[in-house]
Amino acid sequence: MNDKKPPAITQKGKNVAGAMFRVAKQTLSGGRVLATDGEFQFRMTLCKSNVCGSFIESNMTCVVCGCFLDYKLSLTTEECPLGFWASIKE
Ligand code: SF4
């Protein structure tokens, strides 16, 4: 159980817009956008361990950013808001 509250809908919208901008920038620069299965699983293992105290298993979201982790973790451009895993640079 997690007592933390997710961000307000306006902040979630800003977070999604930021992610879309980073994906667009990465795409335009010819970089890889999608994480490999291994990269995705590495991130997911960290989130599911709840070392951050911010993982919500019932809907697979992060309470810090409010993101759906199935999507967030699949994008190379994204990073953990608390620094537990990084974006993927090549
Ligand atoms: S993205 Fe970071 S803060 Fe959010 S659930 Fe995963 S490890 Fe925790």
| pLDDT tens per residue across span 50-69 | 999 999 999 999 999 999 99
Structural contact between residues 22 and 67, judged by C-beta atoms closer than 8 angstroms? no
Global pTM? 0.91
Q: For position 2, what pLDDT does the model report?
A: 64
Q: Can you name the residues that pair with 55 across neighbouring β-strands? A: 62
Question: Best of 48, 64, 78, 87 to mutate for ligand 1, by most ligand atoms within 8 A of CB?
Answer: 64
* pLDDT tens digit sequence for 1-60: 567 888 999 999 999 999 999 999 999 999 999 999 999 999 999 999 999 999 999 999
Name residue 27's amino acid: T
Instruction: In whole angstroms, give the CA distance from residue 66 to residue 8.
Output: 9
**Residue minimizing CA distance to atom 7 of ligand 1:** 47
Residue 56 neighbours by CB under 8 Å, 6+ apart: 2, 6, 62, 63
